[in-house]
Amino acid sequence: MKASSSKAFCLTLLLACMVPASGREAPSITTSFTEFWSAAKGKPFLQQEHAWNRSIESLRRDVYDTVVWEKQHDPYWQARRQIWLQKRFERYPALAADIPVEVRALQDAVAHQSVRFKTLFPDADAHPPVTILLAPNFDAKSGVLGNGKPVLVFAVDTLLLEHANLDIVVPHELFHLYHAQHAGIRNDGVMPDAPLTLPLFEEGLATYVSGELSPGHTDGELLLEDELGAIPANQLPEIARRFLADARSKAIDPEHPDIFKRWFNAAPRPYQQGLPNRSGYWLGLQLIRHLRRSYAPAHIAAWSPEQADAQITAALQQVGSQELPSRQTKSAEAH
């Protein structure tokens, strides 16, 4: 078989593996969206919701229950779902024509980046369990299905709204899936009883890997926000010390949810004085670069949750106690 034909065959297999995460036969998300929107366009919300349930969710029940709405963790998921869906349905008139195009672009990016990913992590799944669907409350995330299997979910409509750079988003999320499968760090580190250091480690490492697989981007591009990329390097010790005050808090804490939010969530208003929202992503990336002085990426990625917690806590203490030399904002750095 010619090399070009072999590559095309591999890409075909990768695309074929992107089936509904529930494992049941279902139409493509493009077909489902077309059916939903033909019944919902211009209708009152309750009729739109009925069409959504019939054409979208009922065919992908497991992934919507466990990953999209996270019913197992959120006692208020029904109320949030109503609000999210109503707002998203209002956006579909402007999005509908472009969703099939974005689906194809996302499929191509997953196939291409999956091949590249194995050059960095040879033991990665050649056919990663990826699902493309519609969701109003995230753009992409790893999760765990009801049967305990990790899955990577891309919300094509949200990615379209964000004008997301798929060459950055896809490898970042592929790493989250790989990490869940090989190190047991699931839900992007936001796991029951996990300390806040775990999502810090997880997001920093995923961002680092995306820079390795899509080189030449600034930190602002890798972090999906120019304001994060503009944080001066000399603020690292202060930010590390600030995070240490929250480090033993739980990633999932219904009684104190603002602790996680102020480091990892986006919002119209700032959570912390003098810091942009989602600063945990920036801090995590800097700490991984600090750890890279001593460890290879594959070594770091193999750490158990307990090892990752210990290593990132030690790194926080080290960088928090001293001024570090300035670093360039390019992710492609000398190793």
- What are the structural domain ranges in the chain? 18-183, 189-320
CA-to-CA separations, 21 to 15, 57, 64, 66, in angstroms, rounded: 14, 12, 10, 11
Task: Pick out the chain residues at pLDDT < 70.
Answer: 1-25, 323-335
The pLDDT score that the predictor gives to residue 203 is: 96
Tokens representing 285 are 């990336």
CA-to-CA separations, 107 to 16, 96, 170, in angstroms, rounded: 10, 18, 10
Burial class of residue 233 in the structure, from the number of CB atoms within 10 Å of its CB (0-12 exposed, 13-18 middle, 19+ buried)? middle
Residue 143 to residue 194: CA distance in whole angstroms: 15
pTM of the model: 0.82
- Name the phi and psi angles at 145, rounded to 5: -75, 170
- Name the phi and psi angles at 143, rounded to 5: -155, 180
Q: Are 190 and 201 contacting, i.e. CB atoms less than 8 angstroms apart?
A: no
The pLDDT score that the predictor gives to residue 323 is: 58
Residue 68 to residue 22: CA distance in whole angstroms: 13
Q: How many CB atoms lie within 10 A of CB 321?
A: 10
The pLDDT score that the predictor gives to residue 266 is: 87
Distant-in-sequence, close-in-space partners of 111: CB < 8 Å, separation ≥ 6: 10, 11, 14, 15
Rounded to 5°, angle at Cα 129 from 48 and 205: 105
The pLDDT score that the predictor gives to residue 284 is: 98
Q: Which stretches of the chain are assigned E, i.e. beta strand?
A: 130-133, 140-144, 150-155
Tokens representing 322 are 């001293």
> What count of residues does the chain have?
335
Q: Helix (H, G, I), strand (E, B), or coil: what is residue 195?
A: strand
